[in-house]
Amino acid sequence: MYNRIILIGNLTRDITLSYLPSGSPIAKGAIATTHKYKLQSGETKEEVCFLDFSVFGKGGEILNQYVRKGSKVMLEGRLIFEQWQSQDGSNRSRHTLRVEEFKFLDSKSDSQSNNQHQPSSQPHENGQYMQQPPEGGGEYINNNGFRGTTIDIDNDEIPFNSGN
Average pLDDT over residues 81-108: 91
Cα–Cα distance between 17 and 75 in angstroms, integer? 17
pLDDT band (50, 70, 90) for residue 113: low
- Residue 40 lies inside a defined structural domain of this protein: no
pLDDT value, residue 66: 92
CATH of the domain at 150: 2.40.50.140
Please, what is the average pLDDT of the chain?
A: 76
- Residue 163 lies inside a defined structural domain of this protein: no
- Residue 161 lies inside a defined structural domain of this protein: no
The C-alpha torsion from 20 through 24 and 28 to 34, rounded to 10°, is -140
* Range(s) of the domain holding residue 118: 5-35+45-156
| Span of 51-60, 122-131, 149-158 with lowest mean pLDDT | 122-131
- Residue 164 lies inside a defined structural domain of this protein: no
Nearest-5° angle of CA 14, CA 26, CA 110? 30
pLDDT band (50, 70, 90) for residue 106: confident
- Residue 31 lies inside a defined structural domain of this protein: yes
Look at residue 109 and tell me whether its pLDDT is greater than 60.
no
Number of domains in the chain: 1
pLDDT band (50, 70, 90) for residue 110: low
pLDDT value, residue 156: 52
- Residue 14 lies inside a defined structural domain of this protein: yes
